[in-house]
Amino acid sequence: AIQSYAGTAKPFDFNGLVRHYYLRQNSSEGELQIQLAEKSDRDRSSHEIALEARQLIKQIAADAGANYAVVEMPPGPPVLRPVVAEVYGPDKATRRKLANDLTEMFKESGTMTDIDNLMRDEYPVINFQVDTEKASRFGVSVQTIKETLAMAMSSFNVTTIRLKNALEPSRVCLKVPLSKRSQLSYLTQLPVPSQQGGMIPISELGSFVYKKQDDLIFHKDLADVEYVLGEPIGRLSAPIYAMFGVDDLLLRYQTVDGKELQGEYLGPPEDQTVPGFEWAGEWTVTYETFRDMGTAFGVALVVIYMLVVWQFGNFIIPAVIMAPIPLTLLGVVPGHWLLGAEFTATSMIGWIALAGIIVRNSILLVDFTVQEYAKGMPFFDAVINSCASRTRPILITAFALVGGASVILTDPIFQGMAISLLFGVLISTMLTLIVIPLGTLSAGEASCRNIAVSMGLLPGDADADAKYNVEKPEKPKKPKSERSSKDPKEWIKAALGKKKKTDDNAEKETSDDKIDTNGLLKKEDKNDV
């Protein structure tokens, strides 16, 4: 189906709002909106049809001296064009000159088509200047003059009628023929009704003057700006390669003040008192999207690591658990290449979601290993048993995700997410069953025991001693003199005192062992008697 709009704007959508379709009101502007058949009913994609349509229209537009653009409905956020140069400068003349030079460079680069800018060529218009003194003398108001000119130059709705078998009423409009309203001599004779009841020629109420049409003034962030637009073409029809092609031409370009010019990629020029421009369009959307998502992904990885450390009470095992996350790229990147799809923002979302799923599978393996080890199974056997026992639930999760992702595989917007989830989970699941056991064995049995102790599955050192009634032998206490004295002089005095005391004790013991012979003989003599 084809819908045509001439001299007016179609009912614009979000894309038309961003591309300023609502400004179309001149008779030289038009649009054809083509609605294609269902994808299953045609052999070519919408992009291939758009490329062929562009080649067919190119020569026709060149012969007519017209500007044209073949616009495809964007799958993501709409922009003015895929390649946009936002031109800044100190004054209007400098901005317009740089914008015109960039327009020629866009054409010279050979990497873009549908090249245009939003600057309008100056053209004369006819304005009617009212002589208020004469108008008040004739009893004619300014509003009456405006209504008369509007009726003559455009049309005036008189009434509406409903034709036979018509669903909607038709308007009856009063309009001056183009052959007459295009002649200034006829316009000067337009009759204007007065309050006195007569008709006054409009030439008696003022005069027609020629004037140049005011240019459109665009602003961005309170700064005046001009726009240069283009559509990338070629084998690598990505905006970034078209921008690189223009940057190569800028190496030999100099501004009006004799300085070199280079496009800004990450923001507008810092000094807008000199000529400069910023690359915008799809590049800005892509850069900001992946910048924000990359930051979110990094924060998510840090939070996941902290949570796993809090769960297991270990710093090595969480690194092993998160090791399969970068391995998902071994499935995501080849998947996009096999299906000929681009890595979009939805692909990034799928990759971030896939990281959480893979971490869950890794936690299952490590947690089961710790539980089996706590039950008394040898460390190596616990690792092998965890893989054998947890493979089935991990595969069920993977196949469920594959089934869900395959539904949106043909969607033009969410195809990237489906590819990331589908191919990423297949490859990472197989690698998880290999990497996690090897990483757990590399971490060692000590890490597994520490995790079991922190989780309360195994007793710690103090708890184990109390459980098995292990009594630690007490160390013999040293004499007070040996424990307290550290001064050499005092130690020598203590040693000498100890020796003297020892000699006295020995002498006492010797005296106690002596026998009193005299007393003994006297006693024996008495017994004999």
Asked whether residue 279 falls in the same domain as residue 415, the answer is no
- Helices then strands, each counted (H, E), the chain: 20, 13
**pTM score, whole prediction:** 0.67
Asked whether residue 279 falls in the same domain as residue 161, the answer is no
pLDDT digits (tens, 9 = 90+) for 82-119: 899 999 988 888 999 999 999 999 999 888 888 888 88
Domain-located, residue 192: yes
User: For residue 436, is pLDDT > 70?
Assistant: yes
Give the HSE-up count for residue 412: Cα atoms under 13 Å, Cβ half-sphere.
9
Asked whether residue 361 falls in the same domain as residue 452, the answer is yes
Q: Give the closest residue to 245 by CA, choosing from 255, 257, 235.
A: 235
CB 69 within 8 A of CB 114: yes
User: For residue 514, is pLDDT > 50?
Assistant: no
Asked whether residue 339 falls in the same domain as residue 405, the answer is yes
Domain-located, residue 320: yes
* Token pair in block for residue 97: 């000159």
Domain boundary among 422, 450, 466: 466
What is the predicted pLDDT for the residue at 344? 85
CB atoms within 10 A of CB 7: 11
Cα distance from N-terminal residue to C-terminal residue, the chain: 161
What is the predicted pLDDT for the residue at 494? 62
What is the predicted pLDDT for the residue at 521? 44
Asked whether residue 104 falls in the same domain as residue 169, the answer is no
Confidence of residue 439 (pLDDT cuts 50, 70, 90): very high
> For a pLDDT cut of 70, what percent of the chain falls above it?
87
The CATH number for 181's domain is 3.30.2090.10
CA distances from 48 to 2, 42, 44, 80, 240 (A): 18, 11, 6, 21, 21
The CATH number for 445's domain is 1.20.1640.10
Q: What is the mean pLDDT of the chain?
A: 82
Asked whether residue 287 falls in the same domain as residue 318, the answer is no
Asked whether residue 87 falls in the same domain as residue 232, the answer is yes
Q: Give the closest residue to 105 by CA, choosing from 240, 278, 230.
A: 230
What's the helix, strand, coil split of the chain in %, to 5? Answer: 55, 15, 30
Q: Classify residue 221 as exposed, middle or buried by CB count within 10 Å of its CB (0-12, 13-18, 19+).
A: exposed
Asked whether residue 438 falls in the same domain as residue 365, the answer is yes
The domain of 247 spans: 81-118+225-297
User: For residue 484, is pLDDT > 60?
Assistant: no
Runs of H (alpha helix) within 76-203: 92-109, 132-138, 142-153, 178-181, 184-187
Domain-located, residue 448: yes
CA distances from 172 to 82, 153, 155, 158 (A): 43, 16, 10, 6
Asked whether residue 232 falls in the same domain as residue 363, the answer is no
CB 125 within 8 A of CB 213: yes
User: For residue 214, is pLDDT > 70?
Assistant: yes
User: For residue 493, is pLDDT > 80?
Assistant: no
Give the integer Cα–Cα distance in Å for 154 and 164.
Answer: 28
What is the predicted pLDDT for the residue at 471? 46
Domain-located, residue 427: yes
CB atoms within 10 A of CB 74: 16
Domain-located, residue 476: no
Domain-located, residue 368: yes
Asked whether residue 170 falls in the same domain as residue 101, the answer is no
What is the predicted pLDDT for the residue at 211? 83
Asked whether residue 92 falls in the same domain as residue 145, the answer is no
CB 232 within 8 A of CB 241: yes
The CATH number for 90's domain is 3.30.70
Domain-located, residue 445: yes
Domain boundary among 438, 466, 494: 466
Confidence of residue 303 (pLDDT cuts 50, 70, 90): very high
Residue 4, strand partner residues? 32
Classify 467 as helix, strand or coil: helix
Give the integer Cα–Cα distance in Å for 214 and 138.
Answer: 32
Most confident of 37-46, 155-164, 166-175, 320-329: 320-329
User: For residue 522, is pLDDT > 50?
Assistant: no
What is the predicted pLDDT for the residue at 510? 46
User: For residue 37, is pLDDT > 90?
Assistant: no
What is the predicted pLDDT for the residue at 384? 93
pLDDT digits (tens, 9 = 90+) for 337-385: 998 888 888 899 999 989 888 899 999 999 999 999 999 899 999 999 9
What is the predicted pLDDT for the residue at 313? 87
Q: Give the closest residue to 47 by CA, choosing from 14, 82, 20.
A: 82
Taking each helix axis from N to C end, the angle separating 379-406 and 345-374, rounded to the nearest 10 degrees, works out to: 150
Asked whether residue 367 falls in the same domain as residue 236, the answer is no
Q: What is the DSSP letter of 470?
A: P
Q: Give the closest residue to 243 by CA, choosing from 345, 55, 102, 80.
A: 102
User: Count of domains in the chain?
Assistant: 3
Domain-located, residue 17: no
What is the predicted pLDDT for the residue at 468? 38
CB atoms within 10 A of CB 355: 20
pLDDT digits (tens, 9 = 90+) for 377-431: 999 999 999 999 989 999 998 999 999 888 998 887 888 999 999 999 999 899 9
Confidence of residue 470 (pLDDT cuts 50, 70, 90): very low
Confidence of residue 498 (pLDDT cuts 50, 70, 90): low
CB neighbour list of residue 61: distance below 8 Å, 6 or more residues apart: 67, 68
Confidence of residue 504 (pLDDT cuts 50, 70, 90): low
Q: CA angle, 382 as apex, 378 and 386 as ends, to 5°?
A: 175
pLDDT digits (tens, 9 = 90+) for 186-199: 888 888 988 877 88
Helix (H) or strand (E) holding 171: strand 170-174
CB 250 within 8 A of CB 233: no
Residue 211, strand partner residues? 125
Domain boundary among 297, 332, 356: 297
